[in-house]
Amino acid sequence: QVQLVESGGDSVQAGGSLRLSCVASGYAYRTYSNYCMGWFRRAPGKEREGVAFLYSGATDYADSVKGRFAISRDSAKKTLYLQMNSLKSEDSAMYYCAAKPVCYTITKSLSDFTTWGQGTQVTVSS
Nearest alpha carbon to residue 16 among 72, 96, 92: 92
The DSSP secondary structure of 52-115, one letter per residue, reads: EEEETTEEEE-TTTTTTEEEEEEGGGTEEEEEE-S--GGG-EEEEEEEESS-SS----GGG--E
Average pLDDT over residues 13-27: 94
Segment 73-124, tens digit of pLDDT? 998 899 999 999 999 999 999 999 999 988 889 999 999 999 999 999 999 9
Contact 32, 23 (CB under 8 A): no
pLDDT band at 27 (very low <50, low <70, confident <90, very high): confident
